[in-house]
Amino acid sequence: MASMDGQAPVGAQARPGGTGDIGTPKRTKDIVAKYGFSFKKSLGQNFLIDGNILSRIVDAAELSSDSGALEIGPGIGALTQRLAEKAGKVTAIEIDQRLIPILGDLMADKPHVGIVHGDVLKLDLAKLFEERFEGCSGVSVVANLPYYVTTPILMKLLEEKLPLKHIVVMIQKEVAERMAAKPGGKEYGSLSVAVQYYCEPKLVCTVPHTVFIPQPNVDSAVIKLSVREKPAVEVEDEAHFFRVVQASFAQRRKTLMNNLTAFVGKERREELTAMLNRIGIDPSRRGETLSLEEFALLSKSMLAEGWRG
């Protein structure tokens, strides 16, 4: 394992934590018992114990010996170990200090694996990419994410425009379905638009709660987000585009007209109706029926009217 400064630790030796797959029920229980580790629900600690699911995740990431893999929340390293078999450089960010020495032991024979102690939401990821993934042909995020912060983590990865190839993550099934939803359905919302603006989503598989220790009380799914070279639609002002999207979904039962009236002000209602008709969007439609292209057109036309929100 490479230490925080990127150097292989002195005296690294073969698997002091024992050999074999970490992601099995027995090995995970043994490691937890050996180190006296207790799970923290507040940190979303549900460790994977199924080799097939681990393979599905790693295969979906299409890693090769010249690629980099960023893992968020390695736990005791079930997925880290698999990533290390495929990727040239692996960096795993773990918030729980108690897991750092355990990972240190279990990854000691892997000089291309680095463990960073920290909160992914607070770290300077652009800097970390420069320090950790120099020379990699592409970097992908591969993780079994802590469910309590899935959306903030993904939005940080996308909004910071990190040079990412794929994001393959295990998340709550319902959130995965919202990310991949197409216009017209009840799952389609501002999260679908935001994710699809930056990426092409694909559901890889759904996952039963029996493959974790401890078992979460929600269903899970693996989603693959292939990051687009440029966003799906061209917009003049991204922040404005997302404000318009948020406003359009503000109250799902309301029409676009009513939701957008709150955005532009009541006194502009007639102008808003005229503008929507002019750009071919029926004011009585609901936000959930608009495609990304229509949201882009809407944002552009609202900017032209000076409606900045």
Distance of CA 93 to CAs 120, 121, 144, Å? 7, 10, 12
Taking CB under 6 A as the binding criterion, the range among 117-125, 180-188, 243-251, 264-272 that sits at the site for ligand SAM is: 117-125
> Can you tell me the distance from the alpha carbon of 187 to that of 178, in angstroms, rounded to the nearest whole number?
5
Q: Locate 37 and state its tokens.
A: 């580790």
> Can you tell me the distance from the alpha carbon of 116 to that of 168, in angstroms, rounded to the nearest whole number?
20
- Residue whose Cβ sits closest to ligand SAM: 73
Report helix, strand or coil for 72.
strand
Count of residues engaged in binding ligand SAM, rule: CB under 6 A: 22
Among candidate residues 92, 101, 82, 83, the one with its CA nearest the CA of residue 37: 101
Return all residues near 126 (Cβ < 8 A) that are at least 6 apart. Answer: 160, 162
> Can you tell me the distance from the alpha carbon of 264 to that of 299, in angstroms, rounded to the nearest whole number?
12
In the complex, what is the shortest distance from the CB of residue 40 to ligand SAM, in angstroms, rounded to a whole number?
7
Q: Is 17 in the site for ligand SAM (CB under 6 A)?
A: no
In the complex, what is the shortest distance from the CB of residue 221 to ligand SAM, in angstroms, rounded to a whole number?
13
Taking CB under 6 A as the binding criterion, the range among 119-127, 232-240, 251-259, 292-300 that sits at the site for ligand SAM is: 119-127
Q: Is 47 in the site for ligand SAM (CB under 6 A)?
A: yes
Taking CB under 6 A as the binding criterion, the range among 29-37, 144-152, 173-181, 281-289 that sits at the site for ligand SAM is: 144-152
Q: Which position among 58, 70, 79, 276 is part of the footprint of ligand SAM (CB under 6 A)?
A: 79
> Can you tell me the distance from the alpha carbon of 72 to that of 190, in angstroms, rounded to the nearest whole number?
24
Q: Locate 99 and state its tokens.
A: 């897991």
Taking CB under 6 A as the binding criterion, the range among 114-122, 173-181, 238-246, 259-267 that sits at the site for ligand SAM is: 114-122
In the complex, what is the shortest distance from the CB of residue 79 to ligand SAM, in angstroms, rounded to a whole number?
5
Taking CB under 6 A as the binding criterion, the range among 30-38, 45-53, 181-189, 200-208 that sits at the site for ligand SAM is: 45-53
**Amino acid of residue 81:** Q
In the complex, what is the shortest distance from the CB of residue 167 to ligand SAM, in angstroms, rounded to a whole number?
15
DSSP element (H, E) containing 25? helix 25-35
In the complex, what is the shortest distance from the CB of residue 253 to ligand SAM, in angstroms, rounded to a whole number?
34
Report helix, strand or coil for 215.
coil
Q: Is 74 in the site for ligand SAM (CB under 6 A)?
A: yes
In the complex, what is the shortest distance from the CB of residue 259 to ligand SAM, in angstroms, rounded to a whole number?
33
Q: Is 93 in the site for ligand SAM (CB under 6 A)?
A: yes
Helix 292-304 crosses helix 238-248 at what angle (to 10 degrees)? 110
> Can you tell me the distance from the alpha carbon of 34 to that of 25, in angstroms, rounded to the nearest whole number?
14
Q: Identify which of residues 148 and 251 has a Cβ nearer to ligand SAM in the complex.
A: 148
Residues that bind ligand SAM (CB under 6 A): 43-48, 72-75, 78-79, 93-96, 119-121, 144, 146, 149
